[in-house]
Amino acid sequence: MIAAITKQVRGSERAPLDPARDALAKIRQLNEGTDGLNAFLSVVDEADLSECQDTGARLAGVPVAVKDNLATLGLPTTCGSRILEGYRSPYEATAVRRLRDAGAMVVGKTNLDEFAMGSSTENSAFGPVHNPRDPSRVPGGSSGGSAAAVAAGLVPGALGSDTGGSVRQPASFCGVVGVKPTYGRVSRYGLVAFASSLDQVGVLAHTVADAAALLEVVAGHDPRDSTSVDVRVPDFSERLGEGVDKLVVGVPREYFGEAVEPGVRTRCTVAVDALRAMGCTIRDVSLPHTRYALPAYYVIATGEVSSNLARFDGVRFGVRDEDGASLEEMYGRTRTLGFGREVKRRILLGTYALTAGYYDQYYGRAQKVRSLVAADFGNVFREGVDVLFTPTSPTVAFRLGERIEDPLQMYLADIFTVTANLAGLPAVSVPIGDVAGLPVGGQIIGPWWGEEVLLQVASALESACGEGGGVT
């Protein structure tokens, strides 16, 4: 889809602004109102669209959406929270700026779980997002707005953020492609921090080729981000369509336990058989510390949340409650009124885990588990496995409200995705079919800096299953 738009713009078949105007018309039609998707929190005014001067630019004329925890000029950056309602950043995220420099048109900011904390996009202060495939179900989270916007055809591509699966899990639930790159591959400058050692900017698109095109643009070293790594950015599109007959695909047994719904298991079995039919060597492998990954993740993530969100105090930026009689009371009232329930829960859990006397018992031990999880992956890749295949999520999209009162069940939606974040590995979710009309995603995890082979296998699987997960 992205290639088609750029070809039309370069060939003067379409004016550079026409794709963005069409996207805004679709957003007005499908996003707003009581029956709307609620995927966008803000959109640009058509009169404010600026025409790309270079019609030969890589993404000339391509309309894109940006998750609302990435700073932008010209549109609010709310993080889906009342505490930042109406806030406008004085600077722009590097990933967003690189999209603009490549000719893309940012048409709006997408809805998300507040401060990216959630797996269903029901925690937004501005209402939940509805899954385009079934509006009674969640789109996944926390990048649910970006995934829904792509799945509904409102935009061909979008940026999200992935701290524990927040790009890949909604991609699975909505039936699109979602890529989380290696930690340090894409600059985090301008991404509002959730858990700094886990956060990574990712991309969502209809196809693997479109996702590769977006990733090539946003990837690369950025001196403004101390966690950005100065490594070569390869042509991620170069190996798409190449054969995979010489590759070894590991299938970790820990990812196929009782938690996996039967329909999801069947679709994954079909996908593995398709890889085998294409010549891949399928190898049963073990990642023994996987069982400890989810609790370790939530200790680390909440600890970093407690630290990162201390800056939202009603003084420096954002909403302030003016009724406090003292500075301390103003702090307390601002944070109590400004943050939602899930954010407060995670701040409290993280503050406890970092408390003197408990730090080593919780946060320190979780970091040791993190090292063991990363070592498991390293051992498997050193033994000749090129990529790993797992389900993205143990279930298809669940119903709105089904898990909102049960945090543990909600957290279990991330059981197969958090490991890549703990280890800093690249991973992609690609549609592999439907169960009762609801999409299923297959997750491919690659070695550090292995996005090329990751996307090569994802492209092959996409072709075998049919674009959009045609296996039924």
Residue 371 a catalytic site member: no
Which of 124, 143, 166, 429 is labelled catalytic?
A: 166
Is 142 catalytic? The answer is yes
Cis? peptide before 197, omega within 30° of 0: no
Q: How do strand 157-161 and strand 177-180 relate by DSSP bridges?
A: unpaired
How many angstroms separate the CA atoms of 226 and 221, rounded? 10
Q: What are phi and psi of 252, to 5 degrees?
A: -75, 125
146: annotated active-site residue = no
User: Residue 65 — φ and ψ, nearest 5°?
Assistant: -115, 155
Rg (CA), the chain: 21
Distance of alpha carbon 210 from the chain centroid? 15
Token readout for 66 is 């940006």
Annotated catalytic residue: which of 81, 89, 142, 143? 142
Q: How many CB atoms lie within 10 A of CB 192?
A: 26
Neighbours of 81 (CB within 10 A): 28
User: Under a CB-based contact definition with an 8 Å cutoff, are residues 51 and 91 in contact?
Assistant: no
Residue in 121, 180, 186, 174 with CA at minimum distance from that of residue 148: 174
Residues with Cβ within 8 Å of residue 187, at least 6 apart in sequence: 93, 94, 95, 201, 218, 220, 221, 222, 224, 225, 228
Q: 108: which DSSP letter?
A: E
Beta-bridge partners for 107: none
Separation CA 68–CA 77 (nearest Å):
5
Residues ≥6 apart with Cβ < 8 Å to 361: none
The residue among 99, 109, 105 whose CA lies nearest residue 16 is 105
* Residues facing residue 109 across a β-bridge: 42, 66
How many Cα atoms sit within 13 Å of 98 on the Cβ side?
A: 21
Tell me how far apart the alpha carbons of residues 200 and 182 are, in angstroms, rounded to a whole number. 8
Catalytic residue, from 67, 124, 146, 306: name it: 67
Nearest CA to 413 among 304, 298, 305, 249?
A: 298
Q: How far apart are CA 431 and CA 168, in angstroms?
A: 10
Tell me the residue type at 162: D
| In 55-125, alpha helices (H) | 94-101
- Length of the chain (residues): 472
142 upstream amide cis, omega within 30 of 0: yes
Q: Which two tokens stand for residue 306?
A: 């407690």
The catalytic site residues sit at: 67, 142, 166
